[in-house]
Amino acid sequence: MAAKKLLIVESPAKAGTIKKYLGSDYKVLASMGHIIDLPKSQLGVDVENGFEPRYITIRGKGELLTQLKKEAKKADKIYLATDPDREGEAISWHLARALNIDAESKCRVTFNEITKSAVKSAIKEPRSIDMDLVNAQQARRILDRIVGYKISPILWDKVKKGLSAGRVQSVATRLICDREEEIENFTPEEYWSIEAELTDPKSKKSFTAKYYGENGKETKLSNAEETKKVTDDLKKAEFIVDSIKRGEQTRKPQPAFTTSTLQQDASRKFNFQAAKTMQVAQTLYEGVNLGGKLGTVGLITYMRTDSLRIADDAQREAVAFLTDNYGAEYVQPRKYKAKKDAQDAHEAIRPTSINIRPIDIKDKLTNDQYRLYKLIWERFAASQMANAVYDTVQVSIDANGHTFRASGSAIKFKGFTLVYEEATDTKTEKSKSDKVLASLSEKEKLELKDLEEKQHFTQPPPRFTDATLIKELEENGIGRPSTYAPTISTIVSRGYVSRSKKQLIPTELGMVTTDIMKNNFSDIVDVDFTAGMETELDEVEEGSVEWKKVLSDFYPPFEKNLESAVKNVEKIKIKDEESDVICEKCGRKMVYKLSKFGKFLACPGYPECKNTKPIREGTGAMCPKCGGEILVKHSKKGKTYYACEHLPKCDFMLWDMPLKDERCPKCGGLLLKKEGRGRKIYCQNEDCNYERKITSEKK
């Protein structure tokens, strides 16, 4: 019997999960994201007539739209179940118009998690399309289109072809450039410290105390002379415990993750870039096949959110689980208050069921999925647990009128730290002397073992990483949960910013472009102005501001800036970075160029010499067929594979990474490293069965 109801989602993975929850009455299809959008080749916005957008079917989506229309005609009822946010609402609205569905009919269903109960409950309570959400998306899309399409040609003309400006990306680039200027202009200041290694005569154990000042007042040591004067005085001094202050300190757990805090923690703990965190989280949200009775299950709630709210049912389930597994004394149900401009439509990011423990499904997940799910599970579990309690001790030591201080702490009650510890951007050293300090008594005489003078210089502010840039964007109200990852990806791919390990460093191109933007489009790269625009878009979503008013207020001053920039911006020549590769056609040294597909080599003699070539990325491993080097390659869809440098003459290709420094101990063949599920090292030779598990990575 043909399905009577059609449910349309965004992705095939999501469709596959939901299909298993619904009966044969339903057909579940995927729109593959947006199906209708502004045209790529032109502005697509009638600025003169109320900023009316001109939407078209996205190139390559025509066949899919035809199929959806065909299935829609057969269905008695159509549900639009795209993602539960502005973007998802807009996709549903475009689908409704394309499929002749009344947007005011009860056609829209949303769920915060893809579980059987959530999906079935959502279908029982359909609603009409929320036009306030749609209009907030339209306003953002059109604002971004106007900024990009109006400013980019000026950058092409004045700097170089292929550049682009963006409402959020330009501010993010400015933050990175401004930080670089701070670093370059920073003047280090000298200061000194003194550390005394002291021994407790009772226990014969040592600890370190730091110089604080004279007679209990803090004193700064700015040079070697001042420091030597103090140390000379200390060498003949008696070190006596002046006061001991014992106390208790509590630490509260953090709330369950938002998009921002998840991206920050995954960056610090796993070195994940924001885009990777979101890609892995998407797979956990859309569903993973756990086998057995569970089947395919969405493991986490929707991952684009800035809410800290947790559903009452989820909290009750967590309290029961934690009580059973850790004891009632470790449990403390909590509600967390979000910042005032947070969108509270969704919950915080949490496991769909705390009863699905990471360790129980580890073999069903890839390594990245397991690590991220474990992080989300632990953070949520900890958020409903008791405070950690520490015994603290602060010791003040007198040495001939000079004051030294030492402090320490010892865990008294582990509380939530039994489950989760938040990562930080700075490393903290754990004191080894906590137990010694706890055993000291006032007026006790200590033995001086060693005095160490150390010269220091104040440090400039650190460069941004993915984690610290996301934190900065969020704290300044720039962008929203869905924009952090694509913003960073864009400014790196466009060549405005480069990565060095975890640091984000502006390129010359980024600095030049930012200067042009600051001098000619100061509002666009102004942090407060951009944050204000985000607030206005939120007000459109709330229905308190008309979306076209946001555009009509923005455009007149922006247009004046455009006219001025065309006249006043001078042409700037940025020299391409030279490589060591010689062009085999004309003998010039080739230069690095950037396209939307990444860096490549090009001859600087263009247009006389049009030679280009991909950048060679070697593995150091040799091809077992012809002895050539095996190179890293990337498919059109971005998937990494490995192939002989003499391709296509030699057809040797691999999906798994070859090892350069190790051969098979059984047959001497090429060893490969398999990632993902069943991570292992194994022999490429099909006649050899050598393999071993990868055990070196910490779990």
Question: Half-sphere exposure of residue 97, counting CA atoms within 13 Å on the CB side?
Answer: 13
CB contact at 8 A, 431 and 393: no
Of the listed 21, 211, 285, 302, which one is catalytic? 302
pLDDT digits (tens, 9 = 90+) for 39-67: 998 999 999 999 999 999 999 999 999 99
Task: State residue 699's pLDDT score.
Answer: 34
Q: What is the pLDDT of residue 636?
A: 60
For residue 419, give the DSSP letter. T
Is residue 212 part of the annotated active site? The answer reads no
Beta 612-614 vs 598-602: how paired, if at all? antiparallel
Predicted confidence at residue 357, as pLDDT, reads 96
Q: The tokens of 618 are what? A: 């070697």
Reported as a pLDDT band with limits 50, 70 and 90, residue 698 is very low
Is 697's pLDDT higher than 50?
no
Q: How confident is the model at residue 285 (pLDDT cuts 50, 70, 90)?
A: very high
What integer pLDDT is reported at residue 421 of this predicted model?
83
Tokens of 49: 């007539």
For a pLDDT cut of 90, what percent of the chain falls above it?
69
At residue 414, φ and ψ (nearest 5 deg) are: -65, -35
pLDDT at residue 2, rounded to an integer? 57
- pTM of the entire predicted model: 0.81
Choice among 106-110, 431-435, 479-483 with the minimum mean pLDDT: 431-435
pLDDT of residue 546 exceeding 90, the answer is yes
Residue 595 pLDDT > 60 = yes
Q: Which residues contact 45 (CB under 8 A, 6 or more apart)?
A: 38, 51, 52, 53, 54, 142, 145, 146
Average pLDDT over residues 458-487: 93
Q: Is the pLDDT of residue 596 over 90?
A: no
CB 647 within 8 A of CB 632: no
Of the chain, the end-to-end C-alpha distance in Å amounts to 49
Residues contacting 544, CB < 8 A, separation 6+ = none
- Per-residue pLDDT tens over the stretch 397-437: 999 999 999 999 889 999 999 999 877 665 555 555 566 78
Domains with residue ranges and CATH for the chain: 5-129 (3.40.50.140), 138-185+462-568 (1.10.460.10), 190-252+388-457 (2.70.20.10), 259-383 (1.10.290.10), 578-614 (no CATH), 618-693 (no CATH)
Mean pLDDT of the chain: 90
- CA dist 256 and 378 (Å) reads 9
**Residue 155 predicted with pLDDT over 50:** yes
The answer to whether residues 585 and 609 touch, using CB atoms and an 8 Å cutoff, is yes
Segment among 58-67, 320-329, 542-551, 643-652 with least mean pLDDT:
643-652
Residue 577: DSSP 8-state: P
Banded pLDDT at 500 (limits 50, 70, 90): confident
